[in-house]
Structure 1
């Protein structure tokens, strides 16, 4: 996966955002887009299909003409036969008919950040003047539906949402949103707090929230929940139990390129950040960096060894390791101060709680299928 920050600027100001520099309106130059593709293939880091995710800022703050040129530049830089799959993660407030036509003409996968009904969404996702953004986001969502653009939603679960599973499901069903993933309010990047860290009851309440969401989703037959789908797919994979790590702790499985061309790996949320002990997470610039140079850099050696130590510690201690595969360095660094750590709030909710809710549901379905009444 290649994550590209076309611009760090965002037109809204969510109070749980992890990104630095959201006031910076500078754009990535198109030469950097091409250089990013060339770096990946020159260094043998990408295959026949490359997911290019435009994120880490509001991607639609850039004009369509900028993307037309960026997409053409990327295609010209890619080796013959490579398929580039463009993806955007957007707050949806800028989507109109023209954007919908663009998405369809370029087969862009669209993800929409939408925290459910207005009372939950507007509590945390507001404009720079403090006005809720739900109404604007819904205009964009309805434009996507009207023009037949497939999309999924990502809903951030805050403490305020934990007792509102039915309201959340009712909202997504009423709006015809059929594919939803539930992120938690995370401690990472510049976001140093989370409302979910406020109580010892959070894991139980989150599990109850997710269980009710899944119960309602299954009953409706119209809503797919990412957490259940991903866990099911993992269990059915021929690689299950064989992988040494996940995308966020495997070097160069994800490469993130910031607006200025600096590249980083591991968790995309590390882009643009530095650590008092590890230094900058930028490993070079795609216009000049080589993999050999990166691997010889003492900063890389220190970071990669610490991440690997954290994965080994998780493997040794955690009964959920085969599902989690060692956690996310960005969350470990933010919550524990070291990537060599193990359990975080992030893993207690998105891995342990999800497993304890989803696995019994999958087992019950399997039993019903193999031993019908």
Structure 2
């Protein structure tokens, strides 16, 4: 592959930031914010979670100037008060690039000035469908070192089934044009894809890696709650893992969700909020200046993320006292009894918080994809366990490389591993 992506999928950042704690020692000091520069979109993806909550339409179409200025003041106060050395902002929507270019430039200049005054590195990213990215946008994003994650679900026959415009037409060509504009200025994006369980993941892998030339990306399950009754995803992700493991891992291809599942299987920490045990402590800045929990929770509808906390009247850290933010944070750490008793609890963490929601009892459930996740984790374990045994017996044997630590030896069920290996050898000799 000649092109190496410089952008990381958004889900990678969510677990990389937000890990410090405040002076009370029990809540995070925010150092990651989703900034909604736009609440509207230029396309009409059929699976989008954002517009399932009609409260969105009560928000300004783009981030107001007053809210932008107030956020910058609060951000500098926050960085200074907590002595932060790094902070992450991801511009998001809707479609974030509906935000006017001249205002985006001015916003970046303000952020650069804050970084210079405080000594804090303010990293920036944008999650976009790329359709609006022309040569000028590409230069702006490169100049201000804004990493780019582009949403594309595969070749046209897969992508255009769900990612359509307001006339019902496919958007693939426009997205690819935006990717090409970025590459023309040597600013290579990461990719985020939503899986279609009825398709072959190898087709998506081949397209992203071999045609788009991207080696760092993510493939996500469709956002869904228990009210949606989505189709299972186990066959898709099991085949995705097998194809990646056998054909792409050695080429340095990285898929964030797979990294997280492997890390969890080996006793490590997930690098994504899609899967894995860990707090959801994301803060979202809305276009009117209100501060809300993780935006995907809007899939539950009924203004479920609406708060009374705003940068116009509150500090960023004040959001941790808001009942809606606290509710999401506490729910992410409080698993239901079924999950607590599950052998995959640490690796799975009940899946994404939004996928646990049901109208009857909120988040007190396993993931709507629970049975699928069990099968996926079991399969990954069965594939990796023999390799882990070999790594003891044959110096030089290695596992796929990723941002994870090996499972502590005390936690690895060696008897079960050796039994499986013995059974496999017996079967081969009979």
- What TM-score bracket applies, with the shorter chain setting the length? 0.7 to 0.9
Distance in 1 between residues matched to 2:285 and 2:46, nearest whole Å: 24
Distance, in Å, in 2 between the alignment partners of 1:294 and 1:26 is 23
Deviation at 1:69, TM superposition (A): 1.2
Q: Matched residue pairs, number?
A: 352
* Residue 314 (structure 1) shift: 6.3
Q: CA RMSD in A?
A: 3.6
1:355: how far off?
Answer: 3.1
* Matched residue, 2:96: 59
The higher radius of gyration belongs to 2
Output the CA distance in 1 between the equivalents of 2:37 and 2:276.
22
Q: Are positions 1:130 and 2:165 aligned together?
A: no
CA shift for structure 1 position 233: 5.4
- Give the secondary structure class of the aligned counterpart of 2:187: coil
Query: Are the counterparts in 2 of residues 306 and 339 from structure 1 also a CA contact under 8 Å?
Result: yes
**CA shift in 2, pair 1:106/1:259, >3 Å:** same
Contact kept, 8 Å, 1:283 with 1:300, in 2: the verdict is no
Does the 8 Å CA contact 2:63/2:99 hold for their aligned counterparts?
A: no
Q: Which residue of 2 aligns with 1:144?
A: 182
1:324-343 equivalent positions in 2, closer than 5 A: 324-333=348-357, 337-343=361-367
Pairing 1:208-223 to 2, within 5 Å after superposition: 208-218=239-249, 221=251, 223=253
Name the counterpart of 1:288.
Answer: 313
Task: Point out where structure 2 has 5 or more consecutive residues left out of the alignment.
Answer: 1-31, 398-430
Q: Which moved more, 1:134-143 or 1:121-130?
A: 134-143
Q: Determine the C-alpha separation between the residues in 2 that align with 1:292 and 1:105.
A: 30
* Structure ranking higher on relative contact order (CA contacts 8 Å, 6+ apart): 2
On the 8 A contact 1:248/1:254 being kept in 2, the answer is no
Does the CA-based 8 Å contact 1:335-1:344 persist in structure 2? no
Q: CA deviation at 1:88?
A: 0.6
TM-score normalised by structure 1 residue count: 0.79
Tell me, in whole angstroms, the C-alpha distance in 2 between the residues paired with 1:29 and 1:352: 44
Residue aligning to 1:225:
255
Asked if the contact 2:87/2:123 (under 8 Å) is kept, the reply is yes
Residue 306 of structure 1 deviates from its aligned partner by: 5.0
Q: Closer, same or farther in 2 for the Cα pair 1:169/1:306, shift >3 Å?
A: closer
Distance 1:203 1:116, change over 3 A: same
Are 2:214 and 1:177 equivalent residues in the alignment? yes
Q: 2:38, 2:97 within 8 Å by CA — same for their partners in 1?
A: no
Q: Which structure 1 residue ranges, 5 or more long, are not aligned?
A: none
Choose from 254, 257, 263 the match for 2:285.
257
Corresponding residue SS for 1:311? coil
Matched residues in 2 for 1:106 and 1:256: separation? 21
For each residue in 1:216-275, what CA deviation from the matched residue of structure 2 results, as whole angstroms up to 9, or x when unmatched? 3236x15322223334556789x759xxxx999636x3111111111112x331359764
Which of these residues, 47, 54, 78, is aligned with residue 42 of structure 1? 78
Q: Is the 8 A contact 2:49 2:298 kept in 1?
A: no
TM-score between both structures, scaled by the size of structure 2: 0.70
